[in-house]
Amino acid sequence: MKTAIVGGGRGCRSLLELLLERGLVEFRLDVRMVCDLRSHAPGILYAARRGIATTSSLEDVFRIPGLELVVELTGDDHMAREIQTRLPPGVRMLDHALARIFWDQILLEEKLDQERAHVQQILDSMPDIVLVLDREMRILSVNAGFTNFTGLSRSSARGQFCHQVLCRRDGAPAEADAFCPFREVLASGTRVSMVQTRECIPGSHDFFEITMTPVRDAKGEIVQMVEALHPITERVRLTREVEESAQRFRQFIDSAYDLISIKDLSGRYQVMNAATARFFGRPRETYLGKTVHEVYPAEIAELVAAHDREVIRRGEPVRYEEMFVIEGRERELSTVRFPLRDYKGDIAGVCTISRETTAEKALQRELLQADKLAAVGKLAAGVAHEINNPLTGILAFAEDLKEEVRGEEQREDCDVIIRETLRCREIVRNLLDFAKQKKPQIQGADLNRVVKDTVTLVSRLALFKDVKLRLELAEALPPVPGDPGQLQQVVLNLLVNAAEGMDGKGEIAVGTGRGPGVREITLSVADTGPGIPEEALGRIFEPFFSTKKATHGLGLAVSWGIVERHGGRVEAANRPEGGAVFRVCLPAGGTGS
C-alpha cells in the first residue's frame, strides 16, 4: 500500500524503523514520502538516509502517483481535519489517534527484542554448545559457547547445515540413521540423548553428550530443534584412565602368587585375586560382596574377622602367622594386614596379602628334626661305646654272682641286675644303630609284603596278645624304592608304639594306598588308644622324648630318620573318633595299574 507520512517527529522515525528493519506482518506499507516543515526533524533525516523522498509541502504529498494512504503523525487535530478535507478521491487517512496501533506494535516488538536478548543472554551464559535448527537441519541461531568452541561467528554459522559444521560432512544423514539425534527426534517425537564424537574443529574428535529437544507450534507440529552439546572429552579420558588403571591393577594382583584381597569396613570382599580363590578352593565370583562368615566355615571366618578388627582398631599394618584346615589338610600362611584409607585419611577397608608357608614350615621342622637327630647321633656314637664296656663287665659279674649265691632272694636280686643290664645294653645298641644311620639298600620293595611279614612277627609277641590287628591293604600298588629291612623296622616301631599306647588292649588298623601326590604310596597305622596329647604332637619324633614312662623314646625318632633317608615323610595326628594315626608317605617306584 503506497503510503505518505505527514509529521516527521520521533514517532515517524520509530514507525519507519519498525517498517523497514523489523517488518509488520499485518500492515505492509510502502512509504513513498515523509512531509514535515522542519528539515531536521528525526523522521525527515532518517527517511533521507534510507532513500525515501522528503518534503515540507502538503501539496507534494497529494501529487504522489497511486497514493493510497496518508498517515498523520503531527498530533495536531487542525492539521488532521485539513488533510481529511483535501484528500484526493480513493485515498484513506490514518490520523494520529488511530496511529497508536503502531506504537503498541512498536512497544510489543521492543518487548520481544528484550525477551530475545534475554534468552540469548541465558544461552550465552551456558557452557554447553547450543544450536537452534529448522526442520531442514539449517542453523537458525547459536550461543556464545558454539562460537567459542568452533571459532565461527553467529552470522557465518546461521544458514549452514548442522552436519556441515558439527560432523564435517556435506551430505545429510540418511532417514534411517539411528545415530543421528535429529533423525531420532523426528522418528520418536521425543527428546533424545546420546554420547557421540564430533569434529567441530578440523582434525579434532571430541566427545559430547548430545541432547536434541523438539520445539512445537500451536498445532503440535515440530518446527524447530534445540541441540545442546555438553563436552565430555576430559571425562571420557579420565574414565579411560581409571579403567586402564583398574585393568592394570587386576592384571597385577591376578599374576601374583601371593593371596591378595580387599574388604570394606563391613567385612565384605571388594577385591579377590585368583591365588586366594585357588587356595580356598572356591570360585572368585562367590566372594565379591560377601562377608567371611558367608563363605568360610565358622572357625576360619572368626579367625579372619578377628584379625581384620584388630587391624582396624590399631590403624597400622599387622603381621600374622595363620593356619587353616582346608579339605582336611593344615595349610599355613604368613599374612600382613593393613588398613586402607580414603582421601580424607579415614580407614575405608582392610587389605590382606598372604604367602603360603606350609612347605617352608614343614621343611624347617624337618631340618630342625634332622639337626636334632644329627646331634644325638654324634652324642650316641661317643657315649654308647663308653657305656657298653662297663655294661659287659656288670653283666659278666652278675651272671657269675648268680651261680655262686645259694639263697633264692639273692638270686632274684641278681636276675634284676642282669635284666636291667640287658635293658641298658638294648638301649646302647639302639643308640649305636641310630648313630650309624645306615644308608638304605635301595631296591623295589613290596610295601604290602613288608606289612604282612611285620604283622606276622609281632602277632607272636606278648604285647599283642590282646590287640586286634586289622589289615586294609590296597591292591596292585607299585613298588617302593627302599630297603625292605629298614622299612620293616619302621612298621615294627609304629606297631609297637601303637600297642604300648593302648596298654596292649584295643585294635590297630594297618593300611596302604596311594597318597595325594602324583606318585606316592602311603602307609597308615591307626590305634584306638587315648591319642597323643596336643602339646606332644610337635615333639614325638624327637630322640628320647616319650609320653610313656617305660620306653626310651628312640623308636619314632629312628623311624623318622629311616623314612627321611627314603625320601619320604612321617605325619602324626589324632583321629576324630579317638586314637592316634601315623601316616608314612613314600615315593612310588612305578605307575602301577
Tell how far CA 162 is from the center of its chain.
43
Q: What is the pTM of this model?
A: 0.43
Total tally of structural domains belonging to the chain:
5
pLDDT at 340 over 90: yes
pLDDT at 108 over 80: no
State whether 92 and 221 are in the same domain.
no
State whether 480 and 403 are in the same domain.
no
Question: pLDDT band at residue 346, thresholds of 50, 70 and 90?
Answer: very high
Residue 114 located in a structural domain: no
Task: State percent of the chain over pLDDT 70.
Answer: 86
State whether 392 and 477 are in the same domain.
no
Beta-carbon contacts of 132 under 8 Å, excluding residues fewer than 6 positions away, are 139, 140, 141, 142, 215, 224, 225, 226, 227
CA distance 158 to 161: 9
State whether 450 and 576 are in the same domain.
yes
Segment of 20-34, 121-135, 540-554 carrying the highest mean pLDDT = 121-135
Residue 424 located in a structural domain: yes
**What pLDDT, in 10s, does the model give residues 498-555?**
888 888 899 999 999 987 765 789 999 999 998 888 877 777 777 666 666 555 556 7
Last residue of a domain, one of 335, 356, 377: 356
State whether 329 and 377 are in the same domain.
no
State whether 409 and 447 are in the same domain.
no
Q: Do residues 546 and 554 lie in contact, with contact meaning Cβ atoms separated by under 8 Å?
A: no
The domain of 156 spans 126-231
Question: pLDDT band at residue 430, thresholds of 50, 70 and 90?
Answer: low
Total residues found in the chain within this entry: 593
Tell how far CA 562 is from the center of its chain.
50
Q: What is the pLDDT of residue 592?
A: 38
**What pLDDT, in 10s, does the model give residues 408-423?**
888 888 888 888 788 7
How confident is the model over 575-592, as a mean pLDDT? 81
State whether 336 and 373 are in the same domain.
no
Q: What strands, in cross-sheet order, belong to the sheet with 329-341?
A: 269-272, 259-264, 347-356, 329-341, 318-326
Residue 118 located in a structural domain: no
Last residue of a domain, one of 76, 106, 136: 106
State whether 18 and 131 are in the same domain.
no
CA distance 229 to 145: 10
Question: pLDDT band at residue 61, thresholds of 50, 70 and 90?
Answer: very high
State whether 133 and 203 are in the same domain.
yes
Residue 7 located in a structural domain: yes
Nearest in space to 484 (alpha carbons), one of 453, 458, 522: 453
The CATH number of the domain holding residue 338 is 3.30.450.20
pLDDT at 298 over 50: yes
Which amino acid is present at 416?
V
If one counts every other C-beta atom within 10 angstroms of the C-beta of residue 579, the result is 21
**What pLDDT, in 10s, does the model give residues 206-235?**
888 899 999 998 889 999 999 998 888 888
pLDDT at 572 over 70: yes
State whether 317 and 417 are in the same domain.
no
Last residue of a domain, one of 356, 384, 410: 356
Q: What is the pLDDT of residue 591?
A: 41
Q: What is the pLDDT of residue 593?
A: 35
State whether 262 and 227 are in the same domain.
no
pLDDT at 299 over 90: no
State whether 469 and 577 are in the same domain.
yes
